């Protein structure tokens, strides 16, 4: 694993915007502008390293499924702050194997040892367009390497094709939230909608805020009163379960199918890190983790069980603390052994390893200037060499 500098393509910012990356420019607090897509560098991996990452990503996914089964069997929902009214829907969607499309593991990896799980973005992961499309076009145009670990697009289309017989009327509404002013959520669901279209499904896009309730039919509907039978939602389950309409969502889950399914509320919760360590102690791809307090850990990351983009994470190491502010943490924290990210001249990458329809499918890399990866971090492409 190497970080290499590169000369960006002429007009690359306009190129990636035309490919869908409309949220490339972010205004920083100091008034400057940061480009989310960064092709002034890339990461090069050997085939051996990528095969290792693929194998370990699949192993982690399999462990997570075992952990879901354990939580359901032992009914450990309260530890994860999942409200009781959702328990039956979780168990039913798990037993029915309701369609699940994708998720993303965040891994600490330096090419020298096993990848370590930092967290699993199992419900509403973004950075998908960049990983599946933008970096692939970059590779084709620059020829910086022979290949990528990237079968995301093909696997997404295949996933929709496999699940199509279980989607009523073969029609899916893709929902995003208007609260995301950057446009990233909209473009993520737009891209996923395109993969569903290629799979032969009929699709439409709507805002979560425009999902209505039809009193006459007792169903969720569009503003035009079209019944919503299958919804892919880029809206986290903990938000749904905390919303006023959350109990309606659960009560009607047999009539409106939600993707990702309700059981993903278990895996999208960082408390799953502690349960994984309890079930599989000393697994080479896991870090010691505990709910509520750090136990015997002296150097650790304190993470809110519900949180995003590094917000409210604190790194406690050798008596010093690095913290990121944010709105999360009311439900409690998980304490995970500190794993230092690889340092490439003060650039710190996190591997985003993707799961599509239950199989390891590709990689994207977020790079930060600090040890906490946050919403100011960049996406940097990668190549695979023989």
Among 230, 221, 218, which Cα is nearest to 169's?
230
For Cα atoms 37, 103, 34, give the angle at the middle one, nearest 5 degrees.
15
Q: Mean per-residue pLDDT for 73-99?
A: 95
Half-sphere exposure of 79 (CA within 13 A, CB side): 18
Q: Which domain holds residue 217?
A: 2-269+341-385
pTM of the predicted model as reported, rounded to 2 decimal places: 0.95
Q: Domain total for the chain?
A: 1
134 assigned to some structural domain: yes
Model confidence at 27, pLDDT cuts 50, 70, 90, reads low
- How confident is the model over 88-102, as a mean pLDDT? 95
Mean pLDDT of 303-325: 86
pLDDT band at 153 (very low <50, low <70, confident <90, very high): very high
**In this structure, is residue 220 part of a structural domain?**
yes
Residue 302 in domain: no
Q: Is residue 176 part of a domain?
A: yes
Does 284 map to a domain? no
Q: Could you tell me if residue 31 is inside a domain?
A: yes
Q: Which two tokens stand for residue 334?
A: 């998980």
Q: When comparing pLDDT for 274 and 372, which is higher?
A: 274
Instruction: Give the 3-state secondary structure of residue 240.
Output: helix
Q: Which of 30-39, 42-51, 225-234, 290-299 has the weakest average pLDDT? A: 30-39
Average pLDDT on 16-22 reads 90
Per-residue DSSP letters for 253-279?
Answer: TTTSEEES-TTHHHHTSTTHHHHHHHH
Q: DSSP letter string over 168-196?
A: GGGEEEEEE-TT-TTSHHHHHHHHHHHHH
Q: Is residue 99 part of a domain?
A: yes
Is 283 part of a structural domain of the chain?
no
Residue 232 has pLDDT above 90, yes or no: yes
Within 10 A of 137 (CB to CB), how many other CB atoms are there?
13
């Amino acid at each position: 694993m190497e970080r290499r500098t590169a000369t960006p393509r002429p007009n690359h910012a306009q190129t990636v915007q035309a490919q869908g990356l409309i949220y490339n420019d972010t205004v920083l607090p100091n008034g400057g502008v940061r480009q989310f897509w960064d092709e002034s560098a890339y990461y090069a991996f050997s085939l051996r390293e990528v095969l290792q990452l693929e194998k370990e990503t699949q192993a982690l996914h399999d462990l997570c499924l075992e952990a879901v089964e354990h939580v359901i069997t032992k009914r450990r929902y309260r530890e994860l702050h999942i409200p009781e009214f959702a328990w039956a829907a979780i168990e039913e969607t798990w037993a029915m194997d309701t369609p699940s499309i994708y998720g993303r593991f965040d891994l600490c990896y330096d090419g020298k040892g096993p990848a370590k799980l930092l967290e699993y973005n199992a419900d509403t992961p973004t950075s998908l367009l960049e990983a599946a499309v933008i970096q692939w076009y970059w590779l084709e145009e620059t020829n910086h390497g022979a290949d990528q670990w990237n079968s995301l697009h093909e696997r997404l289309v295949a996933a929709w094709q496999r699940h199509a017989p279980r989607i009523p009327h073969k029609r899916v509404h893709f929902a995003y939230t208007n609260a995301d002013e950057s446009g990233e959520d909209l473009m993520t669901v737009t891209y996923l909608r395109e993969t569903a279209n290629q799979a032969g499904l009929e699709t439409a896009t709507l805002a979560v805020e425009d999902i209505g309730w039809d009193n006459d039919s007792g169903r969720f509907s569009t503003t035009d009163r079209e019944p919503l039978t299958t919804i892919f939602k880029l809206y986290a389950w903990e938000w749904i379960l905390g919303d006023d309409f959350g109990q309606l969502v659960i009560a009607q889950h047999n009539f409106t199918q939600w993707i990702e399914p309700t059981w993903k509320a278990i895996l999208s919760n960082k408390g799953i890190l502690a349960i994984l360590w309890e079930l599989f102690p000393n697994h080479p791809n896991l870090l010691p983790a505990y709910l509520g307090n750090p136990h015997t850990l002296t150097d650790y990351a304190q993470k809110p069980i519900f949180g995003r983009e590094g917000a409210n994470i604190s790194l406690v190491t050798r008596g010093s603390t690095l913290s990121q502010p944010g709105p999360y943490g009311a439900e409690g924290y998980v304490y995970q052994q500190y794993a230092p990210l690889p340092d490439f001249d003060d650039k710190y990458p996190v591997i985003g390893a993707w799961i599509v329809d239950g199989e390891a499918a590709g990689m994207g890399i977020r790079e930060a200037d600090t040890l906490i990866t946050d919403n100011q971090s960049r996406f940097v492409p990668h190549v695979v060499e023989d």
